[in-house]
Amino acid sequence: MRRLLAAGLATVVVLPATGLAATEARHHPHAAIFQVGTAVADITPAPGHPQYLGGFGQMAKPTDRVHDPLQVRAFAVSNGNKLVEFAIVDTQGWFAGYQEGPYGVTDARQQAAAYLAKHGFPGMTQADLIVSSTHSHAAPTIMGIWGPTDVGYLKHVHDQAVAALENAAARLQPAELWTASADSSDIDGTNVSQTDIYDGYDVDPDTPILWARDPQTHRTIGLYVNVPVHADVACGSCDNQMGADHIGVARDALDSMLGGTAVVAMGTLGRQESIVQVGRFDYSNDVGMTVTDEVLRALRHARPIRSDTLRSAENYIVVPLTNPLLAGLGYANLVAPYTCVPDVACTLDRAIVPPYAVGPGIGSWVTGVRIGDVAYLSEPGEAFPEVSRAIRDGIDGASAVHVIGMAQDQIGYYFPPEEAPATTITNDSDHLQYNSSLALADISVNAAATVAAGLGFSAAYVHPQPMQRDSAARSKPGVQFFAVAPGLSGLDLTVDSAVNPAQDGSPLDTHGQRGAITFGWGDGTTSYGGSTTGEGRGRATHAYARAGTYTITASVTDDQGRTRSYQQRVTLRRHSPPVR
């Protein structure tokens, strides 16, 4: 599969910049002209400076082995009067403030804003900068919990984030901005049951794209993309290697295929788990290339932003703590810094003084940016799709409302409070364990509405509602798959799949030795694939005779005769069309 994707990549790179999207651009002479700059800073730990990796329990010892580079990437937009920026940091999570000193996200935003205010952008404030984490589970923990924080490395991350924000603003050049949204819903679990996946619940499919292009040549200057898929496919502690997970795969591929700099960040994250979570780096490649393919296809339907409006707004929130055990890890760090209880947790070093903590509450920020008629709202942790939907439902007047996950802070999972029982009783998850406050969902949505009003949109608070579509889903076997980068694979398609038995454990009917899943490939042929061992992951391949659009159906049946199916519609081409 890697050879097929590499061949597809090479095909796209050599094609001329006369594709469909470039042709459409010439049909829209009234696209607003902005200035856009990008920057990349390396935060890969130096050899001999091993790190504890976050997300999958405590490591016996830190590692300095590197699978792929860790980076900060920044995307700056100006209309000549105002500057706003987005930045993404390859880390498991980054607190707004720290006990050790001014090394948090807020400190970085304030330092960069102060510098930029003195260098061409008077009036610049922290509200003009949104900084988020990739949440890679193969990246160092700079929050404690899974291992001690390396304060020297934490400071390095802070310094490089500031440098990236400053450098992106120094590299501004004229650009049109185009906007589009891809759909990543097939990657995230919705028809299977796994750790942190709720079978029978809808997910947030939105993968927004902001595309900066030279007004004359239409060449790509940069992309800002938000992917609503947890970066826990690669398992850093399993492989004893650090890396950026599928985010690194996607941004490198987009850089190569489009030119410019792809800044790939997170969208909705809570409950947005890929069906190949903890699948290691091979599956990480599959997810990253599939996201790449989705982005390339969406760009062919991108529309130009016609207004050069740029605004920003921010709302400070205080969230009452409802999880004293999680809060206690922060106070314990004052008494015994970086102490770890085996198989439980390590202390965490989020600041516990104002504005980061106020009495028995957590202080944080929700920030918004308006570009033309498009709104971006930050989420200070791993919000469930119910939260993102409520934010969108409460805002009128925007052509699109996008969320940025793990932005400005990392204060854990959050969801409608009435879903708290489902996090532990019905489903296998750690969502309640790492939820700081059951009030955070409502407070975050209300703050987003306040921010959206500050951006010039009509906005109102909407209570997040559970997105369960099938309350009986757990009583059935589960099956789901996604086609791996179909637009880049030619006629030989690979699908990654997952299966599980129903909650009562009834075995799946495995058709003898032929596998658990029956695949109908949409061309009149059927085959069997998938896996009934381990975590139920598997791959299947199929060679099509001709290009076209096919509806693929995967089905499983258990020994009780209960059947479940999942479908995806894919379009295959012999050669990938140009996208530049």
Q: What is the pLDDT of residue 20?
A: 38
Express each pLDDT in 543-574 by its tens digit: 999 999 999 999 999 989 999 999 999 999 98
Q: Coil, helix or strand for 411?
A: coil
What band does 396 get if pLDDT is binned at 50, 70 and 90?
A: very high
Mean pLDDT for 458-466 is 98
Q: What is the pLDDT of residue 577?
A: 54
Look over the chain and give the mean of its residue pLDDT values, rounded to a whole number: 92
Res. 499: pLDDT tops 90: yes
Res. 275: pLDDT tops 50: yes
Rounded Cα–Cα distance for residues 384 and 111 (Å):
31
What band does 514 get if pLDDT is binned at 50, 70 and 90?
A: low
Q: Which residues contact 481 (CB under 8 A, 6 or more apart)?
A: 186, 275, 495, 496, 497, 498, 517, 540, 552, 554, 566, 568
Res. 354: pLDDT tops 80: yes
Res. 23: pLDDT tops 70: no
Identify the DSSP state of 426.
Answer: I
Pairing of strands 345-346, 340-341: antiparallel
Mean pLDDT for 148-177 is 98
Q: What is the pLDDT of residue 17?
A: 34
Q: Name the nearest CA neighbour of 65 among 246, 280, 242, 244.
A: 242
Q: Which is it for the CA torsion 529, 531, 532, 535, positive or negative?
A: negative
What band does 327 get if pLDDT is binned at 50, 70 and 90?
A: confident
Res. 318: pLDDT tops 50: yes
Q: Name the nearest CA neighbour of 416 among 392, 445, 393, 395.
A: 445
247: phi then psi, degrees, rounded to nearest 5: -65, -45
Percent of residues, the chain, with pLDDT higher than 90: 86
Pair of tokens at residue 397: 């007047």
Q: What is the pLDDT of residue 77?
A: 98
What is the set of domains in the chain, with CATH numbers? 30-304 (no CATH), 310-459 (no CATH), 476-572 (2.60.40.10)
Least confident of 345-354, 389-398, 430-439, 509-518: 509-518
Q: What is the pLDDT of residue 21?
A: 44
Mean pLDDT for 377-397 is 98
Q: What is the pLDDT of residue 508?
A: 86
A 10 A CB-CB count for 243 gives 27
Rounded Cα–Cα distance for residues 377 and 437 (Å):
20
Express each pLDDT in 417-426 by its tens digit: 999 999 999 8
What band does 534 get if pLDDT is binned at 50, 70 and 90?
A: low
Express each pLDDT in 213-241 by its tens digit: 999 999 999 999 999 999 999 999 999 99
